[in-house]
Structure 1
Amino acid sequence: MLISKGGDFALGFFSPATSNQSLFLGIWYHNISERTYVWVANRDDPIAASSSATLSISNNSALVLSDSKGRTLWTTMASPNSIVTEDDGVYAVLLDSGNLVLRLSNNTTIWQSFDQPTDTILPNMKFLVRSYGQVAMRFIAWKGPDDPSTGDFSFSGDPTSNFQIFIWHETRPYYRFILFDSVSVSGATYLHNSTSFVYKTVVNTKDEFYLKYTISDDSPYTRVMIDYMGNFRFMSWNSSLSSWTVANQLPRAPGCDTYGSCGPFGYCDLTSAVPSCQCLDGFEPVGSNSSSGCRRKQQLRCGDDHFVIMSRMKVPDKFLHVQNRNFDECTDECTRNCSCTAYAYTNLTATGTMSNQPRCLLWTGELADAWRDIRNTIAENLYLRLADSTDITAATDSFHDTNMLGKGGFGKVYKGTLEDGKEIAVKRLSKCSEQGMEQFRNELVLIAKLQHKNLVRLLGCCIHGDEKLLIYEYLPNKSLDKFLFNHTTEATLDWLTRFNIIKGVARGLLYLHQDSRMKIIHRDLKASNILLDGEMNPKISDFGMARIFGGNEQQESTRRVAWNLWKDGRQRDFVDKSILESCSLSEVFKCIHIGLMCVQDSPNARPLMSFVVSMLENEDMPHPIPTQPIYFVQRHYESEEPREYSDKSVNNVSLTILEGR
């Protein structure tokens, strides 16, 4: 037996089960109680029980495994770039990485087991998916739990695409991974050890596509493997339990998210506790349920159609990758092609890092092997082509004025009710609004990529000629300003409800600023853009003015602040009289305090949204004293009678304001 220098791995002969007397040459973990094999040399040519075996270095500098009869059971092949002579002094060594290497006397490696894997990926092992257009490596599972011979499941790249990796069941796809990365590194924490990290590196260039896992120092033993049942598992050793812990396993729902399990135009819905097959929007089950696939409710008619958004989707298989297209060009590419059934657009990698390489994906036939999961970071928006119908027109009573909820520079918003009773809000772009077109595009790109309980949900869109519609969830309590600035309704908004709205808006902003896939500044946050659902939960809306910010751009200008009331200790005068006697003044004053901290002149003095949320939810959080901002409204609050508009100049900055006196 050969043991690595640090004692982590061992190389030797083994029999995987007491009932199986055949011997194999393999590598396993040496320092743990559970015998775990990571590499097998002669997996399909075992050594008979009645025979002995020898591992040696031959005259042509190869490792050779042979039995007592001289029959070669397994041998290495030197790297094609290696030139070996008899005087090179070849030797073999087992490294603490678990890699068995064959080296020359000058330490040049001419062969390594990492280049000929079996069923396991170890840290620092380079899994070469594709090389110069060809599938390079393939991991093959064991035949059974005690049978290391070649099994039915394998893991390798897609022979037709540089973006995908498959688990194969024999020659059929079993599970599909999508890797849109170009060059990226991501980090994750082990579930049972918060001080240890695993990093996945993905490199996808013109000539080479590979991935590699590395781990931080002092991490537990870690491995990625495909088992005999086709499960792709990421595992780490738990020394306290003396067993392997599965940190992640795919497929997550066998029978639902395995390849094509929901049939054409169906998808596996992983958002619920029990995953199930569902039909894409605009489709219905072919049989008694969605597992047999789905069919269109209305057949496409070229030129008489629109697109709906299916958010948080794993994009279907068999797409056409169109390069050098921005979002609008990608949309046009599919819109003008009557055979195009769907499109997707991404400029984000699977790890959530910006790669600045936009990708336009088109589909021209059936859509297969899709799923939806709000937790997954590789999910994208799928723009699905459907036939035009009277759903939207009928739902809004032909956009009748009695259904109008509001209007702005972009156009008008209408309430609608679909045939199934579902209520929607439809934003209709004004045909002559250039500003509206820019905001329409902005909302379509931004909101569809965002998912948070405190953000309004975009359900779909319609782009047909001059008609452009955005379809949202309908929120029955409309907008916050309808309560705050209406004397007949403000009394219904008690302090507890107001404080919950404040915290909900703060959590929504935290998601936009920090936790979403893109750093987004709303730029137009006001009471009329805070919508309220049936339980008065707030949802931020209207992203037409929003901007995607880089890592060093984090501020927008605030032009007006009320300041004197706080400075003079008269916060009570700021409180709505309808709740003054019933509210928690300490919570009210805290909100005023936090608000003033957020509008300080120096961006570095303003708290991050994560700190704002913590201050709102934690009574013990310290509250730094804010400084007087440049932009503030000079109020004379001795009288409640309004004055005329007047000009004030504060620190050489002119403002037009409405004051009370």
Structure 2
Amino acid sequence: MSGSNLSLLLHLYYCLCCLSFGNAFDTITSSTPINDSQALVSNNGVFRLGFFSLSSSTDHRYVGIWYNNRGVLEESVIWIANRNKPLKDDSGVFMVSDDGNLVVSDGQNQTLWSSNVRNPRGVNVSAQILDTGNLVLKANGNTVWESFWEPLNVFVPMMRLSTNVRTGEKVELTSWKSSSDPSTGSFTSGLQPLAIPENFVWNNTKPYWRSGPWNGHSFTGIPNMNSFVLEGLSLVNDNQGTFYLTLAFFNSSYLSYLYLDPQGISRQRIWDDEKGNWTTYDSPAETECALYGKCGAFGICNSQKPSICSCMKGFKPNNIDEWNSGNWTNGCTRINQLRCHRLNNTDSEPDDNEYGFLKLERIKVPDFAEWSEHLENECKNRCLNNCSCIAYAFDAAIGCMSWSKDLIDIQKFSYGGLDLYIRLPRSELDKKNITVAIIITVVIGTTIIIVVSLIFLLRWMNKDRDRTGRRVYVKFEELAMFEDNGKETKLHQLPLFKFEELATATIDFNPSNKLGQGGFGPVYMGKLLDGKEIAVKRLSSVSGQGFEEFANEVLVISELQHRNLVRLLGCCIEREEKMLVYEYMPNKSLDAFLFDSTKRKLLDWKNRFNIIKGISRGLLYLHQDSRLRIIHSDLKASNILLDEEMNPKISDFGMARIFGGNENQANTGRIVGTYGYMAPEYVLRGHFSEKSDVFSYGVLLLEIISGRRNTSFYNNEHFFNLLGYAWKLWIEDNILALADTELVSKQCCHQEILRCIHVGLLCVQEHANYRPSMSMVISMLNSEIIDLLSPTQPAFTAALHEESLPNNKWSINDVTITNIEGR
């Protein structure tokens, strides 16, 4: 055999081997079918297409698509071709047939499934599995069929659920018959192109669940839907008769999908890399009230009440016996029927004295809304002038909605939803107004008594805490007050955010939006409805910080305005939640760059020196130039945020202390801060001053130059911390070796780097009096002070003996300490 023939045979053998193991191919043609032992794998290995059996029915074989190497098969399958006609053995073949269709056939060459499209014979036809999970059939380069056009029960990113109002064509999800049987089930899910698009689940042909109207951002009938579908759900009108839903995530590597379970409930699965399995999240609408029309016409369903159904004010049960027995499907009817005198006189003015509207808050509005472009006041008048209009609602993103038929499928939420206005006779509204007025009067009177009592109680409790540096309590029910040298000063009005607003903005505090974690709890990125990006600090229930730190931060930072301090936009105190809302810093915190071997390379000397000087200016403002004199008390790399231009902003004022005008130092019995950044006089004796912040600044400056954490030398037999290492290099006259190799290798700015290290060592000296003030630091950095003093040995440059410290519990991580008692 010639060498060329042998090479050809070896090449063919290699190709066949690759195909059999499914490692090299994502495409099949009429000449390359796959059998039961073979598979296709998408280009980047995300999805696999092949034959499989479910663990509950090993005698049935299916051809399908699943996430490659991701947990158990039942949870990874996203599509099945022959769901209703499984193979009985391993004789199946998946191929492009002679007529250009994709088919699944058995050992007797019987077709069990076909893509069923019309293709001319003999054209160039191929099918490819993509990294989106979509199987695409092409003829002469044109797509003629996709598996995304015939989904099963799974909605994955990049798929479209659609409906065409002109042709009636739909792409919908269809449930499995059971968890062990993927054949066609009873439930379907898709878009209903009403006046305002909504998503429905049908049980056969009957409505089973409804999402409420789409407002351009979310479905209003799912108050916490963002936790369920994350940020990526979009509803698009192509202006050619087709509406479609799509799903996408900020992070394309984030593996998650939605699915319709056999009971008609939408759920979400997210792949957990650490655990190596899928985590399933229940639908936010999975309550008894989620069932369509649970309480019948004019009934309101509230899952928080013992008896979930009740009639609206002005209505009574149609059948009282059935209603009392828990059968609410017959709904409610008006007690007093509406009399419309203007039914045939459209020119007459509305009779405001005869009818009015009862406001129902946080409502899933009824089905069958009629839509118009009217503004809110116009919407009300339009309904009042129209005798057939029995209710209306307005949403700025949707427009005016009105109803003229029975109000079906109304649900009361604890938060979210819309306000619904029900038309009632004025006589019934007046009764309510009298009752409300009495209640309001009683509540206001009681509240005044309680508030006055609390003010006297708090003053009595705090009368012996007049020394400077105390924490300040903020009353959020009014303009907060704090004492400043015996004078009461009003805190600027701070915007209050609703919990619902922040939950929506952060996609229900989804892990994918998490920016960081501190001792206080997590910080999330969010986007408000107007598009403004924010950062939300959510106080954890297990945090060492409590309401005192939260109130202190609100008080301190709301009074500060400086370009190197992060700006507080508002706060939220609702239910058990305490949250602070800041301007969003797109580059997150300094430690994310500084202590990452890859990102640190992006910090050249120009950026680092700019950050050093920016932090200096921010601290100087706190210590000298602000109306309040502030000691930050927790300055560290994770509390330095970076904007889009890498400008630094000091954040996290939960531990900050307020000084009196003539005070230079104060004591505390409660030590708060972060290990590695706290000054020795503060750790050992509870003394804090501006020089405490200077010490923390010095540690941070040396970290910025070296690219190493102060605590990175933990358990090192030669050095206790970065300060000890820096001192050794200083004594050896080799201090430039402290600098990050990325900086030294540039062969520039060495004198500037050496000056910064010198300043850093001056800042971390053991005795507070030896440390420079921040104004001197800035002058030294700017070379306005040319001759610098020689530093003395830094604090904590040798291992500390246990007996030399107070009885404290230490943490070696970067988490803030809040429960240490100083001696």
Q: Is the 8 A contact 1:279 1:290 kept in 2?
A: no
The one-letter amino acid paired with 2:401 is L
* Structure 1 residues 245 and 284, CA gap change in structure 2 (3 angstroms): farther
What residue in structure 2 maps to residue 568 of structure 1? none
Q: Which has the higher strand share?
A: 1
TM-score (ref. length: structure 2): 0.49
What residue in structure 2 maps to residue 257 of structure 1? 290
* Structure 1 residues 4 and 505, CA gap change in structure 2 (3 angstroms): farther
Residue 190 (structure 2) aligned to one of 156, 161, 181: 156
What residue in structure 1 maps to residue 133 of structure 2? 98
Could you tell me how far 1:313 is from its partner in structure 2? 0.7
Matches within 5 A, 1:189-338: 198-206=231-239, 207-217=241-251, 219-249=253-283, 251-253=285-287, 255-270=288-303, 272=304, 276-285=308-317, 286=320, 287-288=323-324, 292=328, 293-302=331-340, 304-321=354-371, 323-338=372-387
Give the unaligned 5+ runs of structure 2: 1-38, 341-350, 463-471, 481-492, 506-527, 535-548, 582-617, 629-823
The alignment partner of 2:207 has SS state of: strand
For the residues of structure 1 that align with 2:411 and 2:499, how far apart are their CA atoms? Answer: 27
For the residues of structure 2 that align with 1:168 and 1:588, how far apart are their CA atoms? Answer: 49
Could you tell me how far 1:324 is from its partner in structure 2? 2.4
Matches within 5 A, 1:3-42: 3-19=41-57, 21-35=59-73, 36-42=76-82
Residue 511 (structure 1) aligned to one of 474, 491, 497: 497
Matches within 5 A, 1:527-538: none
Q: Does 1:180 align with 2:214?
A: yes
What residue in structure 2 maps to residue 439 of structure 1? none
CA deviation string 1:501-555 (max 9, x = no partner): 2477679723179947999xxxxxxxxxxxxxxxxxxxxxxxxxxxx99779x9x
For the residues of structure 1 that align with 2:170 and 2:62, how far apart are their CA atoms? Answer: 25
The one-letter amino acid paired with 2:235 is V
Could you tell me how far 1:289 is from its partner in structure 2? 6.4
Q: Does 1:382 align with 2:420?
A: yes
Q: Is the 8 A contact 2:100 2:120 kept in 1?
A: yes
For the residues of structure 1 that align with 2:301 and 2:325, how far apart are their CA atoms? Answer: 12
For the residues of structure 2 that align with 1:63 and 1:123, how far apart are their CA atoms? Answer: 24
What residue in structure 1 maps to residue 168 of structure 2? 134
For the residues of structure 1 that align with 2:231 and 2:551, how far apart are their CA atoms? Answer: 44
* Structure 1 residues 311 and 346, CA gap change in structure 2 (3 angstroms): same
For the residues of structure 2 that align with 1:513 and 1:251, how far apart are their CA atoms? Answer: 18
Could you tell me how far 1:171 is from its partner in structure 2? 0.8
Could you tell me how far 1:345 is from its partner in structure 2? 1.1
Could you tell me how far 1:258 is from its partner in structure 2? 0.8
Q: Is the 8 A contact 1:3 1:9 kept in 2?
A: yes
Could you tell me how far 1:365 is from its partner in structure 2? 2.5
Q: Is the 8 A contact 1:269 1:373 kept in 2?
A: yes
* Structure 1 residues 318 and 626, CA gap change in structure 2 (3 angstroms): farther
Residue 609 (structure 1) aligned to one of 547, 550, 570: 570
Q: Does 1:501 align with 2:481?
A: no
Q: Does 1:343 align with 2:392?
A: yes
Matched residue pairs, number?
A: 468
For the residues of structure 2 that align with 1:203 and 1:60, how far apart are their CA atoms? Answer: 35
* Structure 1 residues 361 and 189, CA gap change in structure 2 (3 angstroms): closer
Q: Is the 8 A contact 1:127 1:137 kept in 2?
A: yes
Residue 444 (structure 2) aligned to one of 475, 482, 489: 475
The one-letter amino acid paired with 1:310 is L
The alignment partner of 1:361 has SS state of: strand
For the residues of structure 2 that align with 1:596 and 1:495, how far apart are their CA atoms? Answer: 26
For the residues of structure 2 that align with 1:65 and 1:592, how far apart are their CA atoms? Answer: 69
* Structure 1 residues 273 and 94, CA gap change in structure 2 (3 angstroms): farther
* Structure 1 residues 391 and 327, CA gap change in structure 2 (3 angstroms): closer
Q: Is the 8 A contact 1:596 1:626 kept in 2?
A: no
Residue 424 (structure 1) aligned to one of 437, 440, 452: 440
CA deviation string 1:48-93 (max 9, x = no partner): 44x8332221233221222333332221144x8xx8673x432222
What residue in structure 1 maps to residue 403 of structure 2? 363
* Structure 1 residues 309 and 516, CA gap change in structure 2 (3 angstroms): farther
The alignment partner of 1:134 has SS state of: coil
* Structure 1 residues 137 and 162, CA gap change in structure 2 (3 angstroms): farther
What residue in structure 1 maps to residue 93 of structure 2? 54
* Structure 1 residues 201 and 56, CA gap change in structure 2 (3 angstroms): same
Q: Is the 8 A contact 1:123 1:214 kept in 2?
A: yes
* Structure 1 residues 518 and 332, CA gap change in structure 2 (3 angstroms): farther
Q: Does 1:43 align with 2:29?
A: no
Q: Which has the higher helix share?
A: 2
* Structure 1 residues 74 and 48, CA gap change in structure 2 (3 angstroms): same
Residue 171 (structure 1) aligned to one of 205, 216, 221: 205
* Structure 1 residues 308 and 211, CA gap change in structure 2 (3 angstroms): same
Could you tell me how far 1:306 is from its partner in structure 2? 1.6
* Structure 1 residues 276 and 189, CA gap change in structure 2 (3 angstroms): closer
Q: Is the 8 A contact 1:220 1:238 kept in 2?
A: no
Could you tell me how far 1:225 is from its partner in structure 2? 0.7
Could you tell me how far 1:284 is from its partner in structure 2? 4.0
CA deviation string 1:203-251 (max 9, x = no partner): 1343221111112436442111101111111211224444422234154
For the residues of structure 1 that align with 2:254 and 2:504, how far apart are their CA atoms? Answer: 33
Q: Is the 8 A contact 1:231 1:250 kept in 2?
A: no
Which of the two has higher C-alpha Rg?
A: 2
For the residues of structure 1 that align with 2:557 and 2:232, how far apart are their CA atoms? Answer: 37
* Structure 1 residues 588 and 241, CA gap change in structure 2 (3 angstroms): closer
Could you tell me how far 1:21 is from its partner in structure 2? 2.4
* Structure 1 residues 475 and 3, CA gap change in structure 2 (3 angstroms): same
* Structure 1 residues 100 and 324, CA gap change in structure 2 (3 angstroms): same
The alignment partner of 1:214 has SS state of: coil
Q: Is the 8 A contact 2:98 2:121 kept in 1?
A: no
TM-score (ref. length: structure 1): 0.60
What residue in structure 2 maps to residue 569 of structure 1? none
Could you tell me how far 1:338 is from its partner in structure 2? 2.4
Q: Is the 8 A contact 1:184 1:203 kept in 2?
A: no
Could you tell me how far 1:18 is from its partner in structure 2? 4.9
* Structure 1 residues 133 and 266, CA gap change in structure 2 (3 angstroms): farther
